[in-house]
Amino acid sequence: MSVELNHTIVHASNNRESAEFLAAILGLEVGAEWGPFVPVATANGVTLDFATTPEASIAGQHYAFLVSEAEFDTAYARIKEQGITYYADPHHQHPGEINHNHGGRGIYFPDPDGHAMEIITRPYVT
């Protein structure tokens, strides 16, 4: 068996709110609560398990999602409709812009706890 990422835990001040936020932006389903986790599964089988954690102990993380052009358009429209600030770059130097890295499109936007969410239409090349 090859190694694959199966799931990761996302610390949140409110696990349900954060899971619902991401699912709504990306057009995904929020799974049934399992113990302390509220899961959101992606198409490639990786699950983000949102866990409520004291706010003071939440350290911002980065989560990048590869999406199709149509999915980008839909997510981008949702972000704009909700008035969420987005950036073309991870350092937040270009607000309200889309990047065109690697021939695609990408943006960064914060979730309710300040995690850096990113949607891209082309994978990064090394």
Res 105 pLDDT > 80: yes
Query: Where exactly are the structural domains of the chain?
Result: 7-54+61-120
Distance of alpha carbon 124 from alpha carbon 120, whole angstroms: 9
β-bridge mates for residue 37, sequence order: 34, 51
The reported pLDDT for the residue numbered 125 is 77
3-state secondary structure of 45: coil
Domain 7-54+61-120 homologous superfamily, CATH: 2,3-Dihydroxybiphenyl 1,2-Dioxygenase, domain 1 (3.10.180.10)
The reported pLDDT for the residue numbered 42 is 98
pLDDT in tens, 58-104: 999 999 999 999 999 999 999 999 999 999 999 999 999 999 999 99
How many C-beta neighbours within 10 Å does residue 15 have?
Answer: 21
Q: What is the pLDDT of residue 95?
A: 98
Whether 126 shows a pLDDT value over 70: the answer reads no
Q: What amino acid occupies position 79?
A: I
Prediction pTM value: 0.94
Q: What is the mean pLDDT of the chain?
A: 96
Instruction: Say what the pLDDT of residue 62 is.
Output: 97
